[in-house]
Chain A
């Protein structure tokens, strides 16, 4: 192992300690929810890894500690954070590793904008006192693609991509407008985000809400969801959390149906998670931050493998 790698790994240890200090100063309590469970978190576009033993049980490795943490929130744990390895199948690139380190935390009654501030402060612990700028999803598409996504049709999006020399994958029309917007975001918009300042992309279309609350913003129905970018790299994903158990269950069922339609495996719904929401999730914001990507930026590395202890690559 080159000496530089050793020093990066020593710095990782320092940053784990700094992160813990960040939370302890704010009275946020560390938890360590299981990374493995017989039920699964269900997202259309996240593929889970499984663990098998000699018994017939199938366990899922968590893609984030979200469900476990929300169960604790509903039990009255208060503000909590977890730093743990998480697992996502088929995610491999300079910025992705199937196993990576996530820092996730929840803040009771913290307003959406307050959560963004705290997340940016956390990021600054790693990359220094860099100013931040906010941009709504709609503004970002207007600014960098000259598209008003609300008023643009699917045909116009196809035309736009074609003009940019981007040929969307086959059968994308079956996945609707959000799939086309996803390509616009990933290829055209994202490289611009956070070139100078830390960039907060906020208020996503309600159709991309995930587990975020939605509300009207003028004529636009938006999700109270934000992502943070620096140097074109996505660092964080935060929500004003959805608390309504019926709506949550409905989104999980929809996600499973979509997975089935896309030819992916369907996943067992976590009943105790829905029960916890029925018991009552306090009004809260939550965020997850990619620790390894922060380390990449901190050490000016383009490859995530350069900041992970023993990368498989």
Chain B
């Protein structure tokens, strides 16, 4: 049994276990109508699926603190069914299966450091840096005149394999900055 945490101490970012699953608290609203029972409306995000749920708790109710550790790991190399990372502190190497990496797989570049969430000893998610710089490996040349039709973006592929939209003036081989939360182009990098 781990430690427990009461609704009074639910803060955004705290990881808890609910129905045997790991969640992170997104928000916690204390509601107390008149002289009635106080309760908390809590929004939680499932740590693996990323799905959010809203739950109501009686104020003072407790949840188990999730056995979750966040570490920084460097991507060493790719294998068929996973990627091998090295813990930046312990230098231990582990292979994280592709299904645990999920949608973040498109932002994986070798020799870069990622945030890895370990739940009960198992890696469950890999977080890329919010902003990443990467090379455009494929995009068609921008066609002059396209802007007139209101089109200012064109498809491109990055060295990590992500398919994104870039402005017409970006050429193959250029390095750009991307917001990995939205997958949007931020700027050119000189």
Q: Which residues of A contact B (CB under 8 A)?
A: 43-46, 90-93, 96, 165-170, 172, 175, 178-179, 182-183, 185-187, 190, 204, 208, 210, 227, 234, 237
How many Å lie between the Cα of A178 and that of B39 in the bound state?
14
Please pick, from A90, A166, A175, A234, the residue contacting B38 in the complex, using a CB distance under 8 A. Answer: A90
B36 at the interface (CB under 8 A from A): yes
B39 touches A169 (CB 8 A): yes
Q: Which residues of B contact A (CB under 8 A)?
A: 8, 29-39, 41, 54-61
B56 touches A45 (CB 8 A): no
A167 touches B55 (CB 8 A): yes
B58 touches A169 (CB 8 A): yes
B57 touches A169 (CB 8 A): yes
How many Å lie between the Cα of A170 and that of B33 in the bound state?
19
Please pick, from B34, B41, B57, B59, the residue contacting A90 in the complex, using a CB distance under 8 A. Answer: B59
Please pick, from B30, B35, B36, B61, the residue contacting A169 in the complex, using a CB distance under 8 A. Answer: B61
User: Looking across the interface, which residue of chain A has its beta carbon closest to that of B9?
Assistant: A92
Q: Other CB < 8 Å A-B pairs besides A178-B36, A237-B35, 19 of them?
A: A44-B37, A90-B60, A91-B30, A92-B8, A93-B31, A96-B30, A165-B54, A167-B56, A169-B58, A169-B61, A170-B61, A172-B58, A179-B37, A182-B37, A185-B36, A186-B32, A208-B36, A210-B35, A234-B33
A167 touches B38 (CB 8 A): no
Cross-chain pairs A/B with CB under 8 angstroms, 25 sampled:
A45-B36, A45-B37, A46-B35, A90-B8, A90-B38, A90-B59, A92-B30, A93-B29, A169-B56, A169-B58, A170-B61, A178-B36, A182-B37, A183-B39, A185-B33, A186-B31, A186-B33, A186-B39, A190-B33, A208-B35, A210-B35, A227-B34, A234-B33, A237-B34, A237-B35
